[in-house]
């Protein structure tokens, strides 16, 4: 049983790796970004509340996020181990997470920070296409007909550009990351084993590196 927090800037490949890792290691994948996007798609109260925040590349309030996470970590599926992807993103969230884990008698076995230079992030995200059907991501340079192409994973022709993958929003997200999330690595690193992994290379190469550091 392994509980892992995966941290890294937008575009580092965190989402892709989280899906692969969670499947290989049979952990519950908890992606706060996916949860919020699902809420927006469903038109729920939560979705209406957070839609503009996501589109601007800003952060959703800590209270709301901590409540979402609490529900997931207390769930039955979380007992086999979990992989947090996109949470905590602020020092306040990191502190709330520690309190919550103490309360439910769980711990973090590893914090993994994925790193990559900003230029690579911009190049990756400005060309990123996301599949509305299965959530997979790809890059314009890897599909034949841009937005009209079939999704490389589920073959549906439902690729779109996320609102927050526009250049200006990407710059905001990077700034938000440096300002709010970088300090989270320090805070968690004081209490739990911290590993750094480069996000360079193919998803398979990065995946091998990640599994190596997780033993």
Asked if 18 contacts 29 with a C-beta cutoff of 8 angstroms, the reply is: yes
Candidate segments 87-95, 108-116, 136-144, 152-160, binder of ligand AMP by CB under 6 A: 87-95
124 is catalytic: no
Site residues (CB under 6 A) for ligand AMP, limited to 90-109: 93
The pairs formed by 97-103 with CB atoms below 8 angstroms and a separation of 24 or more are: 97/66, 97/69, 98/191, 100/66, 100/69, 100/70, 100/73, 101/73
Contact between 36 and ligand AMP per CB under 6 A: yes
Neighbours of 204 (CB within 10 A): 9
Whether 173 is catalytic:
yes
Per-residue binder mask for ligand AMP (CB under 6 A), 159-198, x = binder = -----x--------x-------------------------
Q: Report the distance separating Cα 214 and Cα 175, nearest Å.
A: 29
Minimum gap (Å) between residue 117 Cβ and ligand AMP: 18
Q: Does 11 bind ligand AMP (CB under 6 A)?
A: no
- Catalytic annotation present for 171: no
In the structure encoding, which two tokens stand for residue 32, read together? 């706060």
State the Cα–Cα distance between residues 124 and 7, nearest whole angstrom: 18
Q: Which residues bind ligand AMP (CB under 6 A)?
A: 10, 32-33, 36, 53-54, 57-60, 65, 86-87, 89, 93, 164, 173
């Amino acid at each position: 049983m392994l509980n892992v927090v995966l941290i890294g800037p937008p575009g580092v490949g965190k989402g892709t790796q989280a899906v692969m890792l969670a499947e290989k290691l049979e952990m519950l994948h908890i992606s706060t970004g996916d949860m919020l996007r699902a809420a927006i798609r469903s038109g729920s109260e939560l979705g209406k509340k957070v839609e503009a925040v996501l589109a601007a590349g800003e952060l959703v309030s800590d209270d709301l996020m901590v409540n979402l996470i609490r529900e997931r970590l207390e769930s039955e599926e979380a007992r086999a181990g979990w992989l947090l992807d996109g949470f905590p993103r602020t020092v306040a969230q990191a502190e709330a997470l520690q309190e919550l884990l103490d309360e439910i008698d769980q711990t973090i076995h590893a914090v993994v920070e994925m790193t990559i230079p900003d230029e690579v992030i911009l190049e990756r995200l400005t060309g990123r296409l996301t599949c509305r059907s299965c959530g997979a991501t790809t890059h314009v340079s890897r599909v034949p007909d841009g937005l009209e192409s079939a999704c490389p994973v589920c073959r549906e022709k439902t690729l779109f550009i996320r609102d927050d993958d526009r250049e200006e929003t990407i710059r905001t997200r990077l700034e938000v990351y440096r300002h709010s999330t970088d300090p989270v690595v320090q805070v968690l690193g004081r209490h739990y084993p911290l590993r750094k992994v480069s996000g360079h290379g193919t998803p398979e190469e990065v995946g091998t590196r990640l599994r190596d550091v997780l033993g």
